[in-house]
Amino acid sequence: MKLYYSPGACSLSPHIVLREAGLPVELIQVDLASGKLVASGDRFRNINPKGYVPALEIGEALPLTEGAAIVQHIADSHPEAGLAPAAGTAARARVNEWLTFLSSELHKSFGPLFTPGSSDEARQAAIKKVKSRLDMVEAALADGRSWLTGEVFTIADAYLFTLTNWTGPTQIGLADHPGLAAYQARVAARPAVQAALEAEGLLQAA
Ligand SMILES: N[C@@H](CCC(=O)N[C@@H](CS)C(=O)NCC(=O)O)C(=O)O
């Protein structure tokens, strides 16, 4: 499946999910600074008017956007991969609860840390908010569960892994969150995750 991505960006989450599902992955790299596809130089906005990654080709005029929707679409269209419980179950509601938390509470809180020219005040506020949200994840993992929702790896884990990776370049680190650090290492050890990191040139940075 054709995925528009930028190395290490939030598009890593659907990239991991595609590989976990054993699906063929065609990666199209987007240069977010110029808004152009790296290989062809085509304008990304001509393909995805939103101009941001991730975007997944699904055989319609417009690609599917919004990472949380993309990973659910991959999981639901390939239920044999077991990457999300069936819709309508309490277990699925928990996965959706985490996806929404990751998208609205954690993902976007990193924003000022990746925005050139952010004020020091905005950066400090962002760091405080990210840490408070990481505290919530740490608390959830404290019962010894292997993955975010229990003993089965799901699409929520691909998203959380992607976001916690950002604690490296932002120098927030995971020293204050030992459960999350151990979790991060568990996810990183999965063969599909290794393959995704390698394909994005991130193995040294992981
Ligand atoms: N709401 C979108 C946000 C995606 C997003 O923030 N993408 C970033 C990379 S992690 C991006 O492409 N930023 C460039 C831009 O906004 O122009 C989602 O959840 O998928």
Each residue's pLDDT expressed in tens, for the chain with a length of 206 residues: 999 999 999 999 999 999 999 999 999 999 999 999 999 999 999 999 999 999 999 999 999 999 999 999 999 999 999 999 999 999 999 999 999 999 999 999 999 999 999 999 999 999 999 999 999 999 999 999 999 999 999 999 999 999 999 999 999 999 999 999 999 999 999 999 999 999 999 997 44
Atom of ligand 1 nearest to the CA of 68: 19
CA of 3 to the centre of ligand 1 (A): 14
Rounded to whole angstroms, how far apart are CA atoms 119 and 17? 35
Atom of ligand 1 nearest to the CA of 111: 6
How many structural domains comprise the chain? 2
Q: What is the DSSP string of 58-80?
A: -SSSS-EE-HHHHHHHHHHH-GG
Q: Is 106 in the pocket of ligand 1 (CB under 6 A)?
A: no
Domain that holds residue 94: 90-190
CA of 162 to the centre of ligand 1 (A): 13
Write the CATH number for 21: 3.40.30.10
Q: How many CB atoms lie within 10 A of CB 154?
A: 26
* 45 plus 105 within the same structural domain: no
Rounded to whole angstroms, how far apart are CA atoms 64 and 73? 9
Q: Is 55 in the pocket of ligand 1 (CB under 6 A)?
A: no
Write the CATH number for 104: 1.20.1050.10
Please indicate, yes or no, whether the overall pTM of this predicted structure exceeds 0.75. Answer: yes
Task: Give the model's pLDDT for residue 204.
Answer: 72
